[in-house]
Amino acid sequence: MISGLSAKEVELVSFLEFEEKYYFTRKDIKRFFKNDNLVSFYLHKLMKKKRIVKLNKSKYFLVPIKAKNGFWAEHPFTLVDEIMNGSDYFIGGTYARYYWKLIEQIPREIDVFTTKKQGRKTIFNIKINFHRTTRNNLKNAVQKKIAGHPFFILNKNKAKQGLK
């Protein structure tokens, strides 16, 4: 048994690892529990033990068992796409300029422009700043892939305009 985890927690983590379902929702794990209260209880316990991270209202990330002492690094673009459920956003600002190789310095924060939320969030030491934008501005984004995972980023021409 994995130290510090109950039998039920090990069963849940093992299932998610075996299915390679690192991003999951409550619906994905509901069958392991009798009711919603137990789902909430075990999710809370696993978050306290740093085995899962809450990304948004309904989505969680499973920190793989192979992660040393609960430390894990996920690609920021994948993380942002999962937080935003794959729609209504684009990555802009200095990270977009860095992606298009318009600047060389690696940005410390990611600017995400979205119609859904605003504010700041830190996950795995990745600082994410959410900015409000309009549906019309979402047309300035292009879809790319990194490690087989799609994400939206500000197109190169618009990123260049931000340098002036």
Express each pLDDT in 28-55 by its tens digit: 999 999 999 999 999 999 999 888 989 9
**Cross-strand partners of 60:** 24, 54
* Percentage of the chain lying above the pLDDT 90 cut: 60
Name all domains of the chain by residue range, CATH numbers in brackets. 7-65 (1.10.10), 76-161 (no CATH)
pLDDT band at 1 (very low <50, low <70, confident <90, very high): very low
Output the pTM of the full model. Answer: 0.72
Q: Mean pLDDT across the stretch 77-104?
A: 93
Residue 25 Cα distances to 39, 84, 87, angstroms: 11, 13, 17
> What b/e string do you get for 26-45 counting C-beta neighbours within 10 Å, with b at 16 or more?
eeebeeebeeeeebeebbee
Q: Is the pLDDT of residue 92 over 90?
A: yes
Rounded CA-CA distance 91/137 in Å is: 12
pLDDT of residue 163: 63
Structure tokens at 46: 């696993």
Residue 85 pLDDT > 80: yes
Residues 5-29: tens digit of each pLDDT = 888 988 998 899 899 898 999 999 9
Give the 3-state secondary structure of 84-112: CCCCCEEEEHHHHHHHCCCCCCCCCEEEE
